[in-house]
């Protein structure tokens, strides 16, 4: 039994799921494998209909799922509703894929050559605690659409919405064994996804350290793997931009979900001539941020997910030069105020490491070349923003910054219509976008002699 805690109050939750044993994990994997042949052979139009039915039943339970996430993960109610809606939207988007999983006819001499996309089999999806609902759907929606069956392990801290979504899949008419939710420890269930020969692919979202171990384990069976790992993204502010607008938007780029976001723009680079104005306006925006009970409709930032995560983040703050902070409730729960530090040394831990909390470091730069060099001076390369009124500069800098997802005059990182993934130690492979189902298939080539 995993003990679940409400991050807002520190109180124990009434319902905590059992943690699967190795034998139970094996039984679920076997069930998914047994269900695969029939699911693979479901007519494309019927598979599409079932995914749309799944989307519809999720839509009917948006508020229930959102309230569960507020309770279990401390997400603001507005964010939680969006996250549940993203599950629905991913299912609807990929419901079009079964009827459009096209192969090709390739011109060759002496015959006809055609290709097919065929499902892999059982796909293991390991989900983190920071965005339990969307990240699960980014894996299972395209995997199911491509004809695979899925075993999904939610994070130990935040399993409740995944369990409920698994129940809704059955209510929607998906056959037993097609989507299986297996709560449990990463060292037991997650590790078994890596070592079990019937699991043909692993999708993992989490820390770079754990991702490396998963990748090494999958190599033993030459098992496919998609990794979405850490980030230390830069928000690059040029002096020619609308500085008030850039400063007003910056807190939401890093303090959303209490900074527990791999895409958080946790390094802000500001051109020196605009630095003082930007930091002054940033202070006003940070102090105005509504850090209150996440169940409140006005809440803009909730608590951290656990006491351990709060303490880890506090250790970075204790060793940094704090410029200013926002507010946070007193009393129980895992609260930390949004915190801005000024950095002068790129070797500082708060500048280099993924803090994964409501902390942002700010540093000035002089010119475009220095901005790019500072942005790229990281082991990570997941996301980032560029604020400028010069379109040529925006494109030039975007092409030079080593990151998988960049936004100009925006902080948008994830759209289910477009590919998502990182450079360097931020990951391997891409999720989302129109090509995501292909990543859950083998491409078979067939030559027919004339």
pLDDT (tens digit per residue) in 136-164: 999 999 999 999 999 999 999 999 999 99
For 183-210, write each residue's pLDDT tens digit: 999 999 999 999 999 999 999 999 999 9
Percentage of the chain lying above the pLDDT 70 cut: 100
Task: Check residue 16 and give its pLDDT.
Answer: 80
> Is residue 262 annotated as a catalytic residue, yes or no?
yes
Nearest by Cα to 143 from 416, 439, 443, 414: 439
* Mean pLDDT, residues 236-252: 98
Instruction: Please tell me the distance from the alpha carbon of residue 428 to that of residue 129, in angstroms, as a whole number.
Output: 20
State the DSSP string of 252-280.
Answer: HHHSGGGG--TT---EEEEEHHHHHHHHH
| Each residue's pLDDT tens digit, 255-267 | 999 999 999 999 9
Whether the pLDDT of residue 118 is over 90: the answer is: yes
Segment holding 145, helix H or strand E: helix 132-145
Say how far apart CA 355 and CA 275 lie, in whole Å.
23
Look up 228 and say whether it is catalytic: yes
- Write the DSSP assignment of 363-430 as a string of letters: EEE-SHHHHHHHHH-SSEESEEEEE-S-HHHHHHHHHHS--SEEEESS-----TTS-B--EETTEES-
Instruction: Assess whether pLDDT exceeds 90 at residue 14.
Output: no
H helical segments located in 41-119 = 44-60, 62-73, 77-94
pLDDT grade for 2, boundaries at 50, 70 and 90: low
> Can you give the pLDDT at residue 1?
55
Average pLDDT over residues 259-283: 98
Q: What is the pLDDT of residue 324?
A: 98
Q: What is the pLDDT of residues 125-139, one digit of tens each?
A: 999 999 999 999 999
Q: How far apart (Å, rounded) are the C-alpha atoms in residues 44 and 173?
A: 15
Q: Say which residues have a Cβ less than 8 Å from residue 267's Cβ, sequence separation at least 6.
A: 232, 233, 234, 235, 351, 360, 361, 363, 374, 375, 378
User: How far is Cα 184 from Cα 2, in angstroms, rounded to an integer?
Assistant: 8
H or E segment at 299?
A: none
**pLDDT interval class at 231 (50, 70, 90):** very high
pLDDT of residue 319: 84
Quote the pLDDT of residue 91: 98
Which entry of 90, 218, 262, 263 is annotated as an active-site residue? Answer: 262
So what's the pLDDT on residue 3? 87
Bridge pairing between strands 383-387 and 234-237: parallel
Give the integer Cα–Cα distance in Å for 190 and 156: 11
Cβ atoms of 216 and 191 within 8 Å: the answer is no
> Using CA atoms, how far apart are residues 256 and 75, in angstroms rounded to an integer?
9
Q: Which of 83, 228, 354, 431 is catalytic?
A: 228
* Cα separation, 432 vs 427, whole angstroms: 14
Share of residues in the chain with pLDDT > 90 (%)? 98
C-alpha to C-alpha distance for 198 and 121, rounded to whole angstroms: 8
Give Cα separations from 162 to 29, 128, 183, 199, 239 (angstroms). Answer: 17, 11, 9, 20, 44
Residue partners of 155: CB distance under 8 A and separation at least 6:
127, 128, 129, 132
> pLDDT tens digits, residue range 295-330?
999 999 999 999 999 999 999 999 899 999 999 999
Phi and psi torsions of 215, nearest 5°: -60, -40
The pLDDT score that the predictor gives to residue 417 is: 97
Kindly report the average pLDDT of the chain as a whole number.
97
Q: How many CB atoms lie within 10 A of CB 251?
A: 23
**CB of 290 within 8 A of CB of 300?**
yes
């Amino acid at each position: 039994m995993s003990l679940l805690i409400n991050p807002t109050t520190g109180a124990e939750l009434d319902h905590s799921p059992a943690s699967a044993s190795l034998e139970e994990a094996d039984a679920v994997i076997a069930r998914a494998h047994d269900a695969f042949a029939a699911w693979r052979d479901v007519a494309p139009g019927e598979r599409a209909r079932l995914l749309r039915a799944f989307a519809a039943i999720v839509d009917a339970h948006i508020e229930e799922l959102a309230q569960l996430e507020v309770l279990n993960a401390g997400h603001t109610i507005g964010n939680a509703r969006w996250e549940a809606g993203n599950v629905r939207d991913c299912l609807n988007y990929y419901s079009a894929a079964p009827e459009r999983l096209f192969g090709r006819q390739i011109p060759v001499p002496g015959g006809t050559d055609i290709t097919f996309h065929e499902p892999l089999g059982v796909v293991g999806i390991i989900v983190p605690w920071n965005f339990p609902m969307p990240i699960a759907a980014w894996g299972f929606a395209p995997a199911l659409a491509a004809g695979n069956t899925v075993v999904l392990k939610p994070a130990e801290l935040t399993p409740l919405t995944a369990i409920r979504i698994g129940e809704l899949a059955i209510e929607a008419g998906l056959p037993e064994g097609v989507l299986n939710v297996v709560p449990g420890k990463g060292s037991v269930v997650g590790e078994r996804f890596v070592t079990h020969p019937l699991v043909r692919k692993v999708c993992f979202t989490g820390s770079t350290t754990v991702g490396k171990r998963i990748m090494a384990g999958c190599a033993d069976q030459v098992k496919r793997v998609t990794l979405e790992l850490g980030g230390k993204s830069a928000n690059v502010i040029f002096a020619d931009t609308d500085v008030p607008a850039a400063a007003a938007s910056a807190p939401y780029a890093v303090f959303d979900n209490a900074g527990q976001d791999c895409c958080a723009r946790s390094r802000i680079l500001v051109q020196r001539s605009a630095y003082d104005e930007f930091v002054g306006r940033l202070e006003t925006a940070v102090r105005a941020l509504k850090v209150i009970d996440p169940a409140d409709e006005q809440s803009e930032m909730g608590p951290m997910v656990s006491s351990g995560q709060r303490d880890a983040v506090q250790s970075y703050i204790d060793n940094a030069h704090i410029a200013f902070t926002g507010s946070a409730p007193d009393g129980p729960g895992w609260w930390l105020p949004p915190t801005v530090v000024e950095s002068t040394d790129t070797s500082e831990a708060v500048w280099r490491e993924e803090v994964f909390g409501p902390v942002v470091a700010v540093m000035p730069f002089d010119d475009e070349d220095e901005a790019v060099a500072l942005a790229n001076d990281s082991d990570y390369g997941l996301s980032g923003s560029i604020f400028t009124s010069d379109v040529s500069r925006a494109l030039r800098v975007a092409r030079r910054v080593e990151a998988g997802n960049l936004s100009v005059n925006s902080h948008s990182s994830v759209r289910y219509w477009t590919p998502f993934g990182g450079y360097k130690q931020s990951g391997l492979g891409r999720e989302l976008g129109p090509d995501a189902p292909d990543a859950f298939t083998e491409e078979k080539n067939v030559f027919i002699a004339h």
